[in-house]
Amino acid sequence: MNQSFLNNKLFVFLTVIIAIPIIVIAALSFFATDGINQTSFSLEGFKEIFSSLRLNELLKISGRALIVCITATAISFFVAYLLVRNTSKYFQSFFFILITLPFLANESVRVFSWQYLLSENGLFNKILSGITGNQITFFNGTNIMNVYLVMIIACIPFGVFINAASLRTIPNIYWKASDDLNLNSLNKFWKVALPLSKFALLASMLVTFFISFSLSSEVNYLGGDTKISLRNLVLSLMSASKFQSIFSLGFVITILLFVFILLFKVFNRNKISLTK
């Protein structure tokens, strides 16, 4: 039997399995159930999501995710550049394993440990107090910067993987040419690494944005009184029995994700066509 035929069937099967929850989300976004067997077309879920209260929450979550993804991408690209250009492949493999280890722990447990480090009596404040000789409470349980800090740290590994993979694909001829031109490390970074990594930077921002958009434990443990997150938004809708609004929210996020991916592919296609 044709091996490509089997591969195509497997691909179709996996696509259908992945598409099932998306189809369910799309269908239940437009239909409300009143009672056991009474289902009718309704846009109440979208009205709830786009109400001023919910829209304000979503804008705050999106704004936070945007700040996190830009910062994490910038840091991760710089780290990836230093890693690829200045270390051996053995060390790079060791580093990749090292930054992966924290994700083997449960998310809540990992973030709870950060709460211990960043609390008023946490380790970081004790270190600062020991250095200055005074009582320092730079970190505290109501400091929203703690949320940003831990989210950025959580997203940096994803950016490092993406950017390091991209930097490894840059042909050596570019680096040799930069050596012939006597470019220093900073100029190599700006004139070689950065221009040839635009695609990876965009991919890193896209991935880290949606990761940070979904992160919630950081807000719950470190956000003090400000606990606006996607999970808490869904839980508030569940407590109000507004289940259609939850599906409507999922549908909107799915559509936005498809739009981002489509724009990403168009950008990539234009990049390929320009290089030919």
Report pLDDT digits (tens) over 176-232.
888 888 888 888 888 888 888 888 998 899 899 999 999 888 888 887 666 888 988
Q: Which residue has the higher pLDDT, 97 or 15?
A: 97
Distance (Å, whole) CA 123 – CA 116: 7
Residue 198's alpha-carbon distances to 56, 130, 195, 203, 263, in angstroms, are 32, 43, 6, 9, 14
Domain ranges of the chain: 1-42, 53-275
CA atoms within 13 A on the CB side of 231: 11
Per-chain mean pLDDT for the chain:
84
Distance (Å, whole) CA 244 – CA 237: 9
pLDDT in the model for residue 146 = 86
Core vs surface per residue 45-79: b (16+ CB within 10 A) or e:
bbebbeeeebeebbeebeebbeebbebbbbbbbeb
Residue 63's alpha-carbon distances to 69, 197, 204, in angstroms, are 10, 25, 17
pLDDT over 90 percentage in the chain: 26
274 pLDDT above the threshold of 60: no
Q: What is the pTM of this model?
A: 0.81
Q: What is the mean pLDDT of residues 51-71?
A: 93
Q: What is the mean pLDDT of residues 50-54?
A: 91
Assess contact for 41 and 244: CB atoms under 8 A: no
Assess contact for 84 and 93: CB atoms under 8 A: no
- CATH class, domain 53-275, is mainly alpha
pLDDT in the model for residue 162 = 94
pLDDT in the model for residue 79 = 95
DSSP state of 87: S
Q: What is the pLDDT of residues 73-120, one digit of tens each?
A: 999 999 999 999 889 889 999 999 998 888 887 788 888 888 888 877
